Amino acid sequence: IASHEFIIESVNENLMAGNHMSRRASYMYGNVLPKSPEGTVGSGLGTTTSGGTLTIMEPTTEISKTPTELTIDGVKMVFMYTPRAEAPSELMFYMPEKKAMCQAEEINHTLHNLLTLRGAQVRNGLLWSKYIHQTIEMFGDEVEVSFGSHHWPTWDNDKIVDYWKKQRDLYRYIHDEVLRLANHGSTLLEVGDEVVLPDSLAKSFANRGYYGSVNHNAKAQYQLYFGYFTGNPADLHPLPPAAAGKKFIEYIGGADAVIEKANADFDKGEYRWAATALKYAVFADPDNQKAKDLLADTYEQMGYQAESGPWRNFYLSGASELRNGVKKGVTVNTSSPDIVRNLGMETYLDYLAVRLNHPKAADKQFTLNVTLPDKKEKFVIYVENGVMNYTLGKHEKEATTSITLDRTVLDDINLGQTSIDQAITEGKVTDEGDTTAFGEFVALLDQFEFWFDIVTP
């Protein structure tokens, strides 16, 4: 049982953007940091993530409206469909006979993320608050226990309703205050510093920023409505980090001058600006170990001061990589075989289109008819103008080549578990027409390197 479009949203997040997202997640969850007072002490939402391979199952029942009532193993459940809050597709449910609410991750014992630092779609604080308000309206009079995905249950009706109301008002306050400030002219970086919760919300344990933070959640709501651009023309087309770093160093009089001034700011505890200045020095010259070491020291101090687990892990992961380089560790493989083999064909082909090396394909033009006998499916792939398009359920009469293979074989080729030549030799692939076209197409598909640089160019 899952929420409407659960598979689509799970795959889109974990596969389409998964390599970049998972690399950043290795910072957010401190996967390569030691478990120690100087390393990671958890993610703020819990301890940390598991490593290994993700799996997924196709739901047999989808929930797409509130309320939806089902009886499961004799237990009556009332489901609430809550998309675009904590996740693009999500649900909560209430068990009337037990007076028990499964709040999923819409209600937590911490401030959650309106934009997770690993990267994802921005979440809507207004919708989030409205779902909690709806929960209060539907079940607040009778609920006796409220439990979630990560944290301990809350007992007693009065305590639960107070807890729910403060969580509701937490997200509503951040959302509404950002829009109020933005309508007065505040921009993305400004709202992060300007939004301050009232004590009635800020001093509630469940609203503290152990996971999300008011600062980056406020910026997320600005991004939700206005995007990354502040409206200032100087921010419209700035230089990328490495080029900006070289110009910054040139303007300020060389790397030694930056390091000297940053040292003084470090000694005064002005870490935010020291980090900004030293970032330019490192991107201008990634071999300047003195700048990298001072930036690492700065990140460590910012990490030790952070209340949010992800903030701490980001700072300390950055410090570790500045000192030691990229260290491969245990992380989740979001492009796992189980994920790939369970993709619907439309999402599968969209993923191949993302992997197409578009500049290399710019002068290519071919049409591939594909038949999957084991799935009783067929489709046509068009490559031209540097992009890949497709149409399900048809073939073209004038195709460059026509390929027949089982979906399992296509998966094996896509996952690198077999080669095209080997599959043809074993009789698992047959083609008619230009026999080189399918291999040429597969050769245009990029494989993504996971351990790309983050704190250095």
432-441 LR contacts (CB < 8 Å, sep 24+): 432/401, 432/402, 433/399, 433/400, 433/401, 433/402, 434/366, 434/400, 434/401, 435/401, 437/366, 437/368, 437/400, 437/401, 438/368, 438/401, 438/403, 440/364, 440/366, 441/366, 441/368, 441/381, 441/383
According to DSSP H, which parts of 268-388 are helical? Answer: 271-284, 289-305, 309-324, 337-341, 345-355
pLDDT digits (tens, 9 = 90+) for 151-164: 999 999 999 999 99
What average pLDDT does this structure show over 285-291? 97
- Whole-angstrom distance, CA of residue 4 vs CA of residue 396: 34
**Among 26, 32, 44, CA closest to 308:** 44
pLDDT digits (tens, 9 = 90+) for 402-442: 999 999 999 998 888 898 889 988 999 999 999 899 999 99
First to last CA, the chain: 44
- Of 35-39, 57-61, 262-266, where does mean pLDDT reach its minimum? 57-61
pLDDT digits (tens, 9 = 90+) for 229-247: 999 999 999 999 999 999 9
Q: In what side-by-side order are the strands of the sheet with 429-433?
A: 387-392, 377-384, 366-372, 401-405, 429-433
Q: Are 24 and 115 in contact (CB under 8 A)?
A: no
What pTM, to 2 d.p., does this model score? Answer: 0.90
What average pLDDT does this structure show over 124-149? 97
| 89 vs 48, higher pLDDT | 89
